[in-house]
């Protein structure tokens, strides 16, 4: 599990295709490899990857075909910058929001509008993704935890605002209109949809916000996302 707080900008050393449509991705990231281990999880532009080799400030991970097809990782080249975050330790603060590293799909940067101390960015995505996006809700864009400023169903877009730190320390600062970004919606939205579509919740119950909050909490505790007392597993 991750928090969406990027630890460092890494650099792609190589992306080599393997037999069976998989690939081996090698990235330079001195900070995230300080305590690296075989089997450790590192999020690369929001995609949870498993370390298979490491050393000298570099780590290597295998990327499966589905990940290459459903995310932007297949388009990486030598020298490409990437957002890197190690899996969160149980004793650390959850500074962003719960990010699993399971990318739901991609979006396209539809516009960028500089402000006095920030930059407004619009992201276009499919209806299948947009239905989970809510104003003032959380979303991970290339692994960065951000707050949604607005949603426009008619245009199929949503907005986020980037502060100077985000622009400086993540790949989002260098992205241009038309670039593809990885999107992971808030996991709680997916749990709620599953509960409702599976027929486990009656309409009369759904109207009670207190009960809804309890349902969501019980679900994420059951799936070992958080503990009963609110701590992170």
**Contact partners, residue 154, CB within 8 Å, separation at least 6:** none
> What is the pLDDT tens value at each position of the chain, 233 positions in all?
999 999 999 999 999 998 878 999 999 999 999 999 999 999 999 999 999 999 999 999 999 999 999 999 999 999 999 999 999 988 888 888 999 999 999 999 999 999 888 999 999 999 999 999 999 999 999 999 999 999 999 999 999 999 999 999 999 999 999 999 999 999 999 988 888 888 766 655 555 555 556 555 555 555 555 545 545 44
Where do the domains of the chain lie?
A: 8-86, 105-186, 188-222
| Model confidence, pTM | 0.85
Closest CA relative to residue 185, chosen from 135, 154, 141: 141
**Contact partners, residue 178, CB within 8 Å, separation at least 6:** 108, 109
CA atoms of 102 and 95, how far apart (whole Å) = 19
**According to the model, what pLDDT value does residue 200 have?**
63
Give the burial class of 130: count Cβ atoms within 10 A of its Cβ; 0-12 exposed, 13-18 middle, 19 or more buried: buried
Q: Specify the CATH number of the domain 8-86.
A: 2.40.30.20
Asked whether this chain's domains 8-86 and 105-186 adopt the same fold, the reply is yes
CATH code matching the domain that covers 105-186, chosen among 2.40.160.60, 2.40.50.140, 1.10.3430.10, 2.40.30.20: 2.40.30.20
């Amino acid at each position: 599990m991750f928090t969406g707080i990027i630890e460092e900008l890494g650099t792609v050393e190589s992306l080599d295709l393997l037999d069976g449509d998989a690939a081996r991705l090698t990235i330079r990231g001195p900070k995230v490899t300080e305590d690296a281990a075989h089997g450790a999880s590192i999020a690369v532009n929001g995609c949870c990857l498993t370390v298979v080799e490491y050393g000298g400030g570099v780590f290597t991970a295998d990327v499966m075909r589905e990940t290459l097809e459903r995310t932007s990782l297949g388009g990486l080249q030598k020298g490409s910058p990437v957002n890197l975050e190690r899996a969160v330790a149980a004793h650390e603060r959850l500074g962003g929001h719960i990010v699993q590293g399971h990318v739901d799909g991609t979006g396209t940067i539809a516009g960028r509008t500089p402000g006095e101390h920030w930059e407004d960015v619009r992201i276009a995505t499919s209806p299948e993704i947009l239905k989970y996006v809510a104003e003032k809700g959380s979303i991970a864009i290339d692994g960065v935890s951000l707050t949604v400023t607005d949603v426009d169903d008619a245009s199929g877009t949503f907005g986020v605002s980037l502060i100077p730190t985000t622009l400086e320390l993540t790949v989002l600062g260098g992205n241009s209109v038309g670039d593809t970004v990885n999107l992971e919606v808030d996991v709680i939205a997916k749990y709620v949809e599953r509960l409702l579509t599976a027929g486990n919740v009656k309409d009369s119950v759904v109207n009670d916000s207190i009960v809804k909050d309890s349902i969501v909490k019980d679900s994420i505790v059951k799936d070992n996302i958080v503990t009963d007392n609110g701590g992170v597993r």
